[in-house]
Amino acid sequence: MNFSRKLIITASAIILLLLSFAFLDIGVKSSITNAESTTSAYSSGETENLLSIDIILYLDQENGFDTMVEKQLITTFEETGYSVTLTDEIKDDYSSQFVFVNVIDMNMFYTPLYSKSYVDVMFGFSSTGKTKYLDIEGSGDRKAVVFSSEDEDDYQFLAQGDVTLYDETKGIFTYNSYQNHIAREIARSVASELDSQLKTRN
C-alpha cells in the first residue's frame, strides 16, 4: 500500500515537472543573440507632413509562436511610443500607417539546459497604408517601387526589410520561456529598425 502511494506521488511529481517545462514561462538563463537587418526605404514628397505615432499592425499567423510574437510586438511598439491597432486581414489600402511582420523561417533546437535558434523575419511599412509594393505574404516577389501622386507635396514613405536572428541560450528554462525570449528579440529587432527609419524622416 505504501509502495503504491509513493509510486503515485512520484509519478504525479514527474508529470507536474514535465507539464511545467511544456507550458510555464520560468527559468534562469543567459543568452547570446545577434540580429542582422537590411532595409530598403523609399520616399516621395515634402516631409513637412510628419509621420504619425498610430500604426496598423498585421502579423501573418500560422501557429502559437506567431501569437507570442504579436504580443511582444504590441508591447515593444507601445514602449517605443507608438499606438498599435491590430488587423487580421490583408488589404490593398488601410488608409493609415501600416506595418506588417512575417516570420518566414525558424529553426529552433530546444533542451531545458541549452537551446539555439535561427530566425528569418520580413517586415514592412507604408505611410499611406497602401500595400501594392509590400511583399506581405513573403513570396519573394518584390516589385520596383514607383510613386505617383497628383500632388507632389504629398509625403509617401515605404520601407521593407529583413531581420536574421541567431540565438544561443544556456541555463535551466522551460520551452515556453525560451519561445518568449525569441519572440521578444524578434519584436525588439523589428521595432528598433522601423523606429530608426521613421525617426530619420521626422
Mind listing the pLDDT tens digit for each residue in 123-168?
A: 999 998 988 888 888 776 665 555 555 545 467 888 999 999 999 9
pTM across the whole model: 0.83
3-class DSSP assignment, residue 40: strand
Residue 4 in any domain: the answer is no
Residue 32 in any domain: the answer is yes
> Concatenated DSSP letters for 64-99?
HHHHHHHHHHHHHHHHHT-EEEEE-S--SB-SS-EE
Residue 62 in any domain: the answer is yes
Residue 161 in any domain: the answer is yes
Residue 6 in any domain: the answer is no
Domain total in the chain: 1
Q: What is the pLDDT of residues 52-104, one digit of tens each?
A: 889 999 998 888 899 999 999 999 999 999 999 999 999 999 988 999 999 99
- For 57, the domain range is 26-199
Residue 56 in any domain: the answer is yes
3-class DSSP assignment, residue 26: coil
